[in-house]
Each structure stands twice: as C-alpha cells, then as structure tokens.
Amino acid sequence: MRQLFARQRAGRRVAQAGAPGRDGAGTPVFFSGIKVYLGQKSALFRGAPDWLRDVFGSPSLLQWAGGKAARTRPQDLGELTLSMLRGEAGNQARELEELLAWLKADCR
C-alpha cells in the first residue's frame, strides 16, 4: 500500500512538470476544458490550426485557468452535453479524432 501511495505522489510531481499537452506520464491530454468550451462556442476556434489549439490544451494553461474559474452553471452545459453526445457530428469532433488516432497508434 505504501508503494502505491508513493507512486501516486511521484506521479503528481511529474505531472506538474509535464510537457505541454501531456500529463507527467507522457499521456496526451484529451478533451481539455478550454478546448472543449471554445470548440462549442466558436466556429473560428474549431477551424484553428493545431499549434494554436495545442496552446489552449497545455497543462500549464489548464492549471492556471482552473484556479481562476468561476462556477459552471448547469443551464450552460445543455448544448455542450448534446454536442459531446453527437460524437463525430458534434463541435468536439477534432478532440474525438485526436483521441481515436492516439488510441489506434499508441494503445495496441
């Protein structure tokens, strides 16, 4: 049990120092809150180049935004929830494609 907790603590330290777009274990960050929100609210962001989208998916920006975030109102999440359920037809299709590509390539 001690080893499990030690690994979890070590994992947290590594995650804090992780590369942009990846957690400390080297796993890419999928469906980051900022990218999902902007993808839902902005057609311009949905067509943005990958390098710009990567900036908004970086763990350091997510950590910073998490500390600044206000409460999410449930009534604001209806459209986003339906969009996520639409999968490839939803506004988060690029995030889904990134996840599927990673699963096909890295998780054999």
CB 59 within 8 A of CB 25: no
DSSP reduced 3-state for 28: strand
Question: What confidence score (pLDDT) does residue 19 get?
Answer: 41
List Cβ neighbours of 38 (8 Å cut-off, separation of 6 or more): 45, 56
pLDDT at 8 over 80: no
Predicted TM-score (pTM) above 0.85: no
Share of the chain above pLDDT 70, in %: 73
What is the per-residue pLDDT across 61-96, written as a single tens digit (0 to 9) for each?
Answer: 888 888 776 677 788 788 899 999 999 999 999 999
CB 15 within 8 A of CB 59: yes
Question: In the chain, what are the domain boundaries?
Answer: 2-106
